[in-house]
Structure 1
Amino acid sequence: MGQIPFIAVEGPIGVGKTSLAKKINAHFHFSLLKEIVEENPFLGKFYDNIEEWSFQTEMFFLCNRYKQLEDIDTKYLKQGKPVVADYHISKNMIFAKRTLKEQQFEKYSEIFHILTDDMPRPNIMIYLHASLDTLLERIRKRGRALEQNIQASYLEQLSHDYEIFMNQFEAEYPDIPVIRFNGDELDFVNRQEDLEYVIKKVEKSLKEGEVVL
């Protein structure tokens, strides 16, 4: 018996994760799971002072994302309902490792693994990446007030961290295909041919992984 599709779209801030997840949802009619961002009461303070507010911010995200992942498992996947999400909880470790002090990170890592080690992993990971200029322009265009204080240096380092993480993810989970798309070259929101290219890649991966469509 094939797997129930669980697709996660990942990449740095502003790269277009939610936009692509919505497009995949519209094409395949999967259940759409969107990351909770604006509800984090610490996020605006975090972008103003990363060192001061990083632990509170990361713990809030971890608890919310754990609850969402639990819901994916019980309300969707175990009910035979495919899911596309605009993030996966494994991203937490990218941000936590970058922003937390060593002792904080050790505690955070313990809690993370206790909560998530037995939770479902995606059977397809889509990784969007783009240049710093593209990310900054997209963040500016979408105009989220709490993102306007993001430092370019932080975003650039985050993109580098994502590259390292995705390489490690592929090595650790060779059975989970990672589909990479360059956000500088593709505009799947405004160009139909780019969207069709992306959809074909996803369809091919679904068939090769013997997931149930």
Structure 2
Amino acid sequence: MLPAHLRYIVVEGPIGVGKTSLARRLAARISAELILEQAAENPFLARFYEDKRRFALAAQLFFLLSRTEQCRQLAQGDLFAGATVSDYLIDKDMLFARLNLEEAEFRLYQKLYQDLQPQTPAPDLVIYLQAAPATLAQRVRRRGLPYEQGMGEAYLAELARLYTEFFYHYDAAPLLIVNSERLNFADSEEDFELLFQRICEMRGAREFFNRGA
């Protein structure tokens, strides 16, 4: 069992790192409500990967509005009624906006973000999954979503860099940084149990988990 204070857990990391797989397993293990970003419902996402310049703003704004509504519902809900696991922080939207939008579009996005003021309760724990860009690219290819297959390693490398920079300064919640290079949470019960045990034992504000060779 998880410690009682871990009511709201967020799993984060760049595309392909395995955050949704881990969030699903963790929510199932502790009988928690599961909140997932709604990528499949974004009508602009596939077109974004075909033509980033043309559809970046539309795809980004859809995510912003969708996640803002989820945040509103979460903020109004009773987190003390049970545990909640999510596969994203709303703060990560700014990373993708900075990466994908041109300067004028980014200024517009910032204005809308400030006007909407999407907020959620602070997580009790954030699990930040890391992997090398080559590993991310391999995992993206393996999961086989057609619209992701043209995603280049350079794009994933820059996204991973932005995540590293963001979490270097992150102090809004306890943070467990996990090197997922040798971990497979989707298919390996042993890997999941190792991480689950590490979560249960976490006591500090920032800790690391890395499975050796």
Normalising by the residue count of structure 2, what TM-score does the alignment of the two structures yield? Answer: 0.86
Q: Which string of whole-angstrom CA distances, capped at 9 and with x for unpartnered residues, describes residues 119-177 of structure 1?
A: 3232211101111221112111211112112122111111111111111223xx2xx11
Task: Name the structure with the higher helix share.
Answer: 1
Counterpart of 2:179 in structure 1 is 182
In structure 2, the residue matched to 1:201 is 198
Greater than 4 Å deviation, 4+ residue runs: none
- Residue 74 of structure 1 aligns with an amino acid whose one-letter code is Q
Call closer, same or farther: CA 1:26–1:118 in 2, change over 3 Å: closer
Matched positions, count: 202
Give structure 1 stretches of 5+ with no counterpart.
none
**1:183, distance to aligned residue in structure 2 (A):** 1.4
Q: State whether residues 71 and 119 of structure 2, in contact with CA within 8 Å, keep that contact through their aligned partners in structure 1.
A: no
Higher RCO, Cα 8 Å, sep 6+: 1
In the TM superposition, 1:22-101 aligns within 5 A as 22-77=24-79, 80-101=81-102
Give the share of equivalent positions with the same residue, in percent.
34
Question: 2:147 matched to which residue of 1?
Answer: 146
Asked if the contact 1:97–1:105 (Cα under 8 Å) also holds between the matched residues in 2, the reply is yes
* Deviation readout 1:178-199 (Å, 9 max, x if unpaired): 1111111222233333211211
Query: Deviation string for 1:79-124 (max 9, x for gaps)?
Result: 6232101111111000001111222212212222332354323221
- Greater Cα shift, 88-97 or 109-118: 109-118
Aligned residues: CA RMSD: 2.0
CA 1:110/1:168 → structure 2, altered by over 3 Å: closer, same or farther?
Answer: farther
Superposition TM-score, scaled by structure 1 size: 0.86
